[in-house]
Structure 1
Amino acid sequence: MKKVPAFLLIMALLFLNPANYMAKTMGVGDFIDTSGHWAEAEIRTVCNNGLMQGVGVNESGKRIFAPDSHVNRAQLAAVLEKTFDLDYGQLRFIKAPAASDYFWDVNNEDWFANAAMLCAINGIFESGRELIPDESVSRIEVARCIYRAFEAKKIYVPMIMLMPYYSDTKGLSQEDVNAIVFVSNTGIMKGTNSLFHPDDPITRGELARVLNQCIALIKANPPQNESKNYSLNISVEEVKSADDYLEIDADIPVIEGMTNTNLQKSVNQIFKQKVEALKAELYAGAVEQKQNAEEMGFPFNKYQIYTRSGPYFENGKMLSLYVDYYFYSGGAHGLTDRCAYNYDIESGQVLALKDLFVPGYNYKKLIDDAITAEISKRPDDFFADEAGFTGINEDQNYYLQNETLVIYFNQYEIAPYAAGIQEFRIPLQDFYKGLKTELYLLPVK
């Protein structure tokens, strides 16, 4: 009999203050706006795993998730970093990278900056352009990023490869088609009624399900953690000077650790001579230009040289890196010339693009098709017709990064100055039949 009044007292307190009771009993993955939602269980799971969280509280102070709100690119970067435990992979950096190295519109202090940078380093996001962090991401972009993330982390999922039929995927690039095949066959993403809805923005509820599927696949198929055969170390020699004619701020790579010491000395000398030759050329031009300016009574702007090294790739067999040489010699703006250096570490051979492949392998068509498909998605960024891209050439510029072949074109080669250096990234796995195994051994899927 004594328990009845106590029970009634508890019920009265709950009736008078139900919100307080709910707040105390709601778990990490419980939100006032997800109760009864189709993705309620998915949201609870993804939040309990620490991959997503709520967006704040409503006017009553209750936690909300906004399951039907769209996901923006900054949010996508953050969840991809957590889901795939992104790192630098096989890339090594002479100087610590920053988000602003990869995106024009990202401040290094932004909450998503590190995640966006890691997505760029792993080839999940395109870099060298704007990120547009607040823009909603589409279902096809998410599928593409998921596909790239599995490739970057070497997470290979056994599956029966079936070509799903969606009537709204015509005109997509080959990579996007591959991405849809992957996410469909693995159950990560599905369409409805023969439609994939590639251009529809993805919602937070949908993304929760996608991430849970990814985590399940990762647990069942752990990443292939290969031993990293690092034998080299690269530092920089800083060269800084300024006078009335020329300012120099140059980072010159210095390689150590090559067993072929003659090659090491030769390569290091090439780096030095490049800066010295640029200095001699610009200094002579600056002296002449300053004299002309004084005689004609117009202002003279100092010439400039600014160089920075990008990340480098090494696998014990080959070394691949690039250096950006920026120079200003009057006019409206300067120019950046990217120079790639690719070497067989043992023989000292300079590796042209064709040297990566076995004789007779038609790598050129595969690369041309990939570049053409990418250009078709943003044609206004490039020159048209003969002035634009007409195919790669024998001495095509390239470098390697994290299981990826990067084909690049310097300013004005195929696009206006404002478009910058154009990079096209192609997974090395796409060349699995043609890569020379003595230089690069792909992991077995």
Structure 2
Amino acid sequence: MKKGMVFLLVMALLLLNPAAYSAKMLGPGDFYDTGGHWAEAEIRTACTNGLMQGVGVNEYGQQIFAPDSQVTRAQLGMWLAKSFALDYGQIRFIKAPSPDSYFWDVDNDAWYANSAMLCAINGIFPAGQELHPEEYVTRIEVARCIVRAFTAKNINVPMIMLMPAFTDMEGLPHEDVNAIVFVNNTGIMTGNGEVFRPGEYITRGELARIANRSYELFKMNPPGVKKMEPALQIGAEEIKTSDEYLEVSVEIPVISGMKNTAAQQKINEHFKQVVQEQREELLAMAVENKQSAEEMDYPFHQYQLYARTGPYFENGKILSFYVDYYNYSGGAHGMTDRRTYNYDVVSGQALSLKDVFISGYDYKSRIDTAISAEISQNPDDFFAGEFGFKGIDLDHKYYLQNDALVLCFNQYEIAPYAAGIQEFRIPLQDFSKGLNPNLKLIN
């Protein structure tokens, strides 16, 4: 009798609190809403391997995965960062980077912030704009990001190169076509019959399957990038002053560790001189303008000089980085001048764009083609005709970031002021046969 009463009491408690029962029955990777779903096994595997996780609990406190919900860009970033073990690579920072310096609409404390930042540092998400973290992502965006992630980790996947016969690839940019070829030939993503469905949103169940297939390839083909201890360091000398004429807030780069100490001293003196010259020029203009403002009774606005050093790349052979100099001298807005610096680590010699390549290699044509193709995807963002992009100079400014060559254009060079500084990131692998072997830019 007593045993019967205990049984009834336990059953009553379970009926009143079904979450307790489900919590005991569900193991790692199991969720209340995935039982019987076509992706149940894929979801269990992805979660067990730490590639994905649930989205919370339902009204009964039961863990749910939401397998048919569409994937947001924030969720995509989390998966990419985990699956590909994203880090800084060979990039170093004078100050620890923050997510809001890469995306205008990302709070540094957001659950996805660091993952999104790592995706930007590795060239998977475009930086310097809005992330739109809650926006749903399409199949082609996922495919594109997967290829960029494999490239960032320098993972070479052996496969038979076959062009899939999808009827909905026509008109896609070159990068997107290559992305479809890669994910289809590796089996990471496939189409439905004759279509790939590039513009369709992807579900969390589908992403679980993609995550598992990517993870298997990642394990079978380990990254080729080996971290190296930096031979050089860049610090910063900070100067902050303010008076009625001019506000100054600058970080002057200070290089240390270069074997050629004379060259190192000369380089460091150059950075100091640049700031000093700009400071003197702005101050003289400000004094003159303030005097005129008082005489003619119009408002004077304090001038400004800011300087910030970006992340730097160093692989034991080349040191590469940029410095942004911002000047405000009245008017509607100031101007930012991005200057790039590239040095031979041993000799301290400045390296121009042509020095990145072997003699006789036609790097200009390849770069011009890549930039023109990217501009064609968003032509309204750029100037056209005689004011538009006409090709780079042979010594165009550039810097390196891990696996990529980055070409820079300042405000008004090829696009309106509001578009900001324009950068075009080209994988170094695209120049593999033409790169200077002494710089050891790719393995």
Q: TM-score, normalised by structure 1?
A: 0.94
Find out whether 1:438 has 2:438 as its counterpart: yes
User: Alignment identity in percent?
Assistant: 63
Task: Give the counterpart letter for 2:273 in structure 1.
Answer: Q
CA separation of 1:342/1:15 partners in 2, compared to 1, >3 Å: closer, same or farther? Answer: closer
Once the two structures are overlaid, the 10-residue window that deviates more, 418-427 or 371-380, is 371-380
Query: What is the distance in 2 between the residues matched to 1:240 and 1:157?
Result: 50
Query: What is the distance in 1 between the residues matched to 2:136 and 2:68?
Result: 13
Query: What is the distance in 2 between the residues matched to 1:396 and 1:129?
Result: 24
Query: What is the distance in 2 between the residues matched to 1:173 and 1:291?
Result: 55
Query: What is the distance in 2 between the residues matched to 1:421 and 1:214?
Result: 34
SS of residue paired to 2:424? strand
Once the two structures are overlaid, the 10-residue window that deviates more, 151-160 or 199-208, is 151-160
Query: What is the distance in 1 between the residues matched to 2:273 and 2:211?
Result: 50
The offset of 1:50, in angstroms, is 2.1
The C-alpha deviation readout for 1:383-411, integer Å capped at 9, x for no partner, is 12221212111231110001110011111
For 1:8-407, list aligned pairs within 5 A. Answer: 16=15, 19=18, 20-228=20-228, 230-407=230-407
SS of residue paired to 1:361? coil
The offset of 1:119, in angstroms, is 0.6
The C-alpha deviation readout for 1:17-46, integer Å capped at 9, x for no partner, is 693433320123222322221111111111
Partner of 1:408: 408
Once the two structures are overlaid, the 10-residue window that deviates more, 94-103 or 343-352, is 343-352
Q: Which runs of 5+ in 1 are unaligned?
A: none
Query: What is the distance in 1 between the residues matched to 2:321 and 2:15?
Result: 68
Contact 1:14–1:21 (8 Å) recurs in 2:
no
Aligned alpha-carbon RMSD (Å): 2.1
Task: Give the counterpart letter for 1:132 in structure 2.
Answer: H
Query: What is the distance in 2 between the residues matched to 1:200 and 1:146?
Result: 16
SS of residue paired to 1:438? helix
Task: Give the counterpart letter for 2:431 in structure 1.
Answer: F
CA separation of 1:263/1:41 partners in 2, compared to 1, >3 Å: closer, same or farther? Answer: same
Task: Give the counterpart letter for 1:416 in structure 2.
Answer: P
Once the two structures are overlaid, the 10-residue window that deviates more, 247-256 or 157-166, is 157-166
Q: TM-score, normalised by structure 2?
A: 0.95
* Consecutive aligned runs of 4 or more in structure 1 exceeding 4 Å deviation: 4-18
SS of residue paired to 1:389? coil
Find out whether 1:428 has 2:417 as its counterpart: no
Task: Give the counterpart letter for 1:69 in structure 2.
Answer: S
The C-alpha deviation readout for 1:259-309, integer Å capped at 9, x for no partner, is 111110111011111101111111111011100110111211110001100
Query: What is the distance in 2 between the residues matched to 1:352 and 1:427?
Result: 18
CA separation of 1:39/1:284 partners in 2, compared to 1, >3 Å: closer, same or farther? Answer: same
Task: Give the counterpart letter for 1:206 in structure 2.
Answer: E
Query: What is the distance in 2 between the residues matched to 1:16 and 1:70?
Result: 32
CA separation of 1:331/1:85 partners in 2, compared to 1, >3 Å: closer, same or farther? Answer: same
